[in-house]
Structure 1
Amino acid sequence: MVMAYAGHVRTALEIGAGTGKATRLFTQRVAEVTATDPDAAMLTELRKHVPPGVQTERAAFEDLRLGEEYGLVYAAASLHWTKPEGRWSRMAALLEPGGTFASFGGPLRLADPAVEEAVRTVRAPFLESDEIPSPNGTPPEHAMQWPGTELQRSQWFTEVQQSAIKRRYAMSASDYLGHLSTISAYLVLDPAKRGEAFSRIRRVLPEAVEMDADITVHLARRRYDQ
């Protein structure tokens, strides 16, 4: 979907690459990929799984050096970690005129209502919700979701598109807890409370949990006249 929109792309920059799950896919279609992440441990793991030619840079989005332009800049479930101030002017500065910006990701939600209710009950003393709110407050019922809402208003981008990919799969209980450990609502908890919350959640989970994991894809093109 991303490459069909972008067309032929020779260079790509990844924002918040993590352990490189998305990187591995894009290296199959793009000749030169640069993966960036502020966490050195993440990049160490990424290098184990990508071709030797993939460039890596330890840097947050806001610290990336400007001056080199890419045909594609993409963020896989990481854009919400970037700071809103100057986000789109900086993103445009990293793109060739006519280049493609892509953001994709979505929440993992328990598919079984009974399991979801059990988790909600044991989580309640610690967190009312572990949902990641829209960074700019876009209501969930709005036809265009974030970051598409910001891209539509940005002077730097045009041809904004939003698409959804339906996914459902099973993961182990331990992998699900690993996923929860990356969510900001848990990260801000006191470590002792976080550990107790995870312990209680683990006790109500089956060994394998069914997940609704729909992906929302946002695409936009850097304007030629900016």
Structure 2
Amino acid sequence: MSARALSFGAIAEAYERFRPGYPDELFDLVMTYAGRPVRTALEIGAGTGKATRLFAGHGVMVTATDPDAAMLAELSKTVPANVTPVRTVFEDLRPSEPYGLVYAAAALHWTRQDGRWSRVAALLEPEGVFASCGGPVQLADPALEESVHAARAPFLESDEFPSPDGTGPDEEMQWPGTELQRSQLFRDVQQVVIERRLTMCSADYLGYLSTVSAYLQLPQSTRQQAYDAITRVLPETVEVAADITVHLARRRPE
């Protein structure tokens, strides 16, 4: 696993504080797609438990996996008793009892492409559901977004994570739906966008940026210079677009 993937533990508390959580609409969407009760789930890259709390809060027994001990320590502060935290990378998971749901929230891109879907399928019951969700938090005002890009440019060209399979941002089907469509292990691939607008103070927006891996890879002094430059162009409060793109698929029966 890359250093970028393992950079979050140092800012686990900030991650929990500044990253948006997930709405009940996401749970309802996954359960409607499943079309039957889901009792057990495995979460890939649970982090501090943002999505864990959503599914566990609705009664699902969740095995929450993450490779970072600090992230799991933060998760363990807030999750209910029906959550089992497990420190491991996805590639080291060994199937035991299959799950009704395997899901990843803003984490699937950290897994290795080689063997990804055979591993997911091996963890699922026949006709079990896979779900992936995520999306960037971007300033809703295009002019302000451009100003932030210009302020950041001397220190960081882009804070986005490129599509793992090279799918362009204008393509109708986005990753990982593209890979799921090509896989012979899954069917009924769907892509749904949950639109979301949030208002936050500029300090909280900077707090969010402090949890983005592209910034975490910068030397500390350079990182602070980027934050200072961005701060100078931000108003007191900002509106952000935090749309959640959800991909759903069903494991084919053997």
TM over 0.5: yes
Q: Which consecutive unaligned segments of at least 5 residues does structure 1 have?
A: none
Distance in 1 between residues matched to 2:203 and 2:101, nearest whole Å: 34
CA deviations 1:3-60 (Å, max 9, x no partner) are 1111211100111111111111101334311111111111111122111231110112
- Show the counterpart of 2:13: none
Which of the residues 204, 207, 210 maps onto 2:236? 207
1:98-137 alignment runs, 5 A limit:
98-137=127-166
- Show the counterpart of 2:32: 4
CA deviations 1:162-205 (Å, max 9, x no partner) are 11111101123233223223333223322321221112212222
8 Å CA contact retained: 2:215, 2:223:
yes
Residue 107 of structure 1 and its aligned partner are, at CA, apart by 1.0
Greater shift in the superposed pair: 179-188 or 202-211: 179-188
Residue 113 of structure 1 and its aligned partner are, at CA, apart by 2.5
Q: Which consecutive unaligned segments of at least 5 residues does structure 2 have?
A: 1-28
2:79 is equivalent to residue 50 of structure 1? yes
Aligned-partner SS, 1:27: helix
8 Å CA contact retained: 1:9, 1:30:
no
- Show the counterpart of 2:68: 39
Distance in 2 between residues matched to 1:83 and 1:30, nearest whole Å: 30
- Show the counterpart of 2:93: 64
Q: 1:217 is aligned with what amino acid? A: V
- Show the counterpart of 1:154: 183
Residue 135 of structure 1 and its aligned partner are, at CA, apart by 1.1
Greater shift in the superposed pair: 195-204 or 182-191: 182-191
1:158-197 alignment runs, 5 A limit:
158-197=187-226
CA deviations 1:62-104 (Å, max 9, x no partner) are 1222223100000011111111111111111111111000001
Q: 2:98 is aligned with what amino acid? A: E
2:110 is equivalent to residue 81 of structure 1? yes
- Show the counterpart of 2:172: 143
8 Å CA contact retained: 2:131, 2:247:
yes
For the aligned residue pairs, the C-alpha RMSD in angstroms reads: 1.5
8 Å CA contact retained: 2:39, 2:59:
yes
Number of equivalences: 225
- TM-score, normalised by the number of residues in structure 2: 0.84
- Show the counterpart of 2:26: none
8 Å CA contact retained: 2:56, 2:82:
no
Distance 1:207 1:60, change over 3 A: farther
Counting aligned pairs with the same residue, the percent is 68
Q: 2:153 is aligned with what amino acid? A: A
2:236 is equivalent to residue 198 of structure 1? no
Distance in 2 between residues matched to 1:223 and 1:194, nearest whole Å: 46
- TM-score, normalised by the number of residues in structure 1: 0.94
